[in-house]
Chain A
């Protein structure tokens, strides 16, 4: 089933390593994004990550730096707009989202018209796991480790404040600081997702596996492990199929990894709707 050269290709190695790192982080963060009902906020961050990625392409900076910086600045903007109560949170999110998308358009146009690089728009929006530079892997690994360790340290207070902010505040927790910290961590996770399957599809990797896992798990920990597993399976299946697809067409051109990853995630989500007895939750 593996096309010739799959295991010896350097870009396949890079893709597998990076895809694995990203699937683990996005599974963890996705469950908490859903717990906190912040899917819209999470999606808005992917749009701001797009702006960062497009800006990075224009300035010839490493894409990961662009994606993460963009999303973090976006998280800060949403938070500061909604914090002083001048805007409701969803309004603030919408405004930042709109502004970011406009800027993305500008950066992508500038890049396309001033450089000879082709396919930049495609790369930023939809990713291209096979063309990621191998030097990205250690940076992504360290970033992912920081996010994971921070989440492990704040997981319980974050869970309590997601379930009931009143209960959390009554126990002496500062819920607004926890919320800001979480938004920043999601921003970094979105940046990592964007490198893997493109900024436009980052939402799919963040939300899809987590939504599947929450339907089928009995505990939060179980949901996190399952979300990571679904993300990993989808990423690996996507990479194998995309590599294989180079042999599918006479032109010898493969189909995008991101398409296969998202299609696999969707298949898992659809499967999670197949009725099972309640006791089958893990």
Chain B
């Protein structure tokens, strides 16, 4: 069996007496497209930060390519949820992508001709050549997302974590970014772990789903996880899974106990 590119074992994290992650375990094989699905505030960002080593788990272990993080920093790319750069900053999209190569390096190092070619190649891979010389602060949401993806990919990591890359995008950009991610994951043989509060846009491309709610998770293929029995157990009360024109709706029974409603059920019904 091949070593998983990411293996999360029994990760628990609590702030005071509030448990954010409760015994979370799952693993991702090389090249897998994985969706980390859950409503807002269930701990998706926290889990990504633990995997990146930006947050320390109270318990449990995170292995990247079979090693603890300190020795494998370069193996993980990251696309944060919010990067806001002022339009006044004189930084072109291509300069930002180049920082993915050497932005963490101290010392004097001149960029080689090979670096420029590499930047060009990754700009092309994310369809960003048209705005390669535009200031990063002047890009639209979808354009900035492409540049961030190229920035994360150019160091040739085996795993890229993306924090809500589809949030705040218009529906067309969502489709485009999902197709783009699917394509580059295959092209560069990189595993993606992408968090989202809405799974439908990702259903056609996801190899694996990690479904997170109230700090606990279920993981597997979508057919294994997005089922009434699995999700009902995860939520701790009955939910229905409806399939409609290739879309999935997770619906809670009417209940007085509003706290336990999967909060995105209503959101999905609105779609």
Q: How far is the CB of A168 from chain B (nearest CB, A)?
A: 7
Q: Is the CB of A214 within 8 A of B90?
A: yes
Q: Nearest CB to that of B152 among chain A residues?
A: A167
Q: How many inter-chain residue pairs (CB < 8 Å) link A and B?
A: 77
Q: Is the CB of B88 within 8 A of A214?
A: yes
Note all chain B residues with C-beta closer than 8 A to A172.
Answer: 73, 104
Which residues between 78 and 114 of chain B lie within 8 Å of chain A, taking CB atoms? 78, 80, 83, 85-86, 88-92, 95-96, 99, 102-108
Q: Is the CB of A166 within 8 A of B54?
A: yes
Complex formed: what's the CA distance from A219 to B133 in Å? 10
Note all chain B residues with C-beta closer than 8 A to A167.
Answer: 78, 80, 83, 103, 151
Q: Nearest CB to that of A215 among chain B residues?
A: B88
Q: Is the CB of B99 within 8 A of A219?
A: no
- Residue A112 lies at the interface, judged by CB distance under 8 Å to chain B: no
Note all chain B residues with C-beta closer than 8 A to A170.
Answer: 52-54, 76, 78, 80
- A interface, how many residues as a size bin? 20 to 34
- Chain B residues with a Cβ closer than 8 Å to the other chain, count: 28
Complex formed: what's the CA distance from A35 to B88 in Å? 9
Which residues between 129 and 177 of chain A lie within 8 Å of chain B, taking CB atoms? 152-154, 156-157, 159-160, 163-164, 166-173
Complex formed: what's the CA distance from A274 to B151 in Å? 34
A153 interface neighbour in B53, B80, B108, Cβ under 8 Å: B108
A171 interface neighbour in B73, B89, B107, B136, Cβ under 8 Å: B73
Complex formed: what's the CA distance from A168 to B53 in Å? 12
Known: A163-B96, A166-B80. A173 touches B104 (CB 8 A): yes
**A156, A168, A214, A219 — most chain B CB neighbours (10 Å):** A156
- Residue A222 lies at the interface, judged by CB distance under 8 Å to chain B: yes
Which residues between 28 and 81 of chain B lie within 8 Å of chain A, taking CB atoms? 52-54, 73, 76, 78, 80
Q: Is the CB of A157 within 8 A of B90?
A: no
- Residue A3 lies at the interface, judged by CB distance under 8 Å to chain B: no
Complex formed: what's the CA distance from A191 to B101 in Å? 35
Complex formed: what's the CA distance from A145 to B76 in Å? 37
Complex formed: what's the CA distance from A142 to B106 in Å? 22
- Residue A83 lies at the interface, judged by CB distance under 8 Å to chain B: no
Q: Is the CB of B90 within 8 A of A156?
A: no
Q: Is the CB of A35 within 8 A of B89?
A: yes
Note all chain A residues with C-beta closer than 8 A to B89.
Answer: 35, 163, 214
A168 interface neighbour in B102, B104, B136, Cβ under 8 Å: B104
Q: Is the CB of B80 within 8 A of A218?
A: no
- Residue A262 lies at the interface, judged by CB distance under 8 Å to chain B: no
- Please name 18 further chain A to chain B contacts, defined as beta carbons within 8 Å, in addition to the given A163-B136, A167-B151, A213-B90, sorted by A numbering: A34-B88, A156-B104, A159-B103, A160-B103, A163-B85, A163-B96, A164-B80, A167-B78, A167-B103, A169-B54, A170-B53, A171-B103, A214-B89, A218-B90, A218-B133, A219-B90, A220-B95, A281-B90
Binding site for A on B (CB under 8 A): 52-54, 73, 76, 78, 80, 83, 85-86, 88-92, 95-96, 99, 102-108, 133, 136, 151
Instruction: List 24 interface pairs A-B (beta carbons < 8 Å), by A numbering.
Output: A34-B88, A37-B86, A156-B99, A156-B102, A156-B103, A157-B105, A159-B99, A160-B104, A164-B83, A166-B78, A166-B80, A167-B80, A168-B104, A170-B76, A171-B73, A172-B104, A213-B90, A214-B89, A214-B90, A217-B90, A219-B90, A219-B92, A223-B90, A281-B90
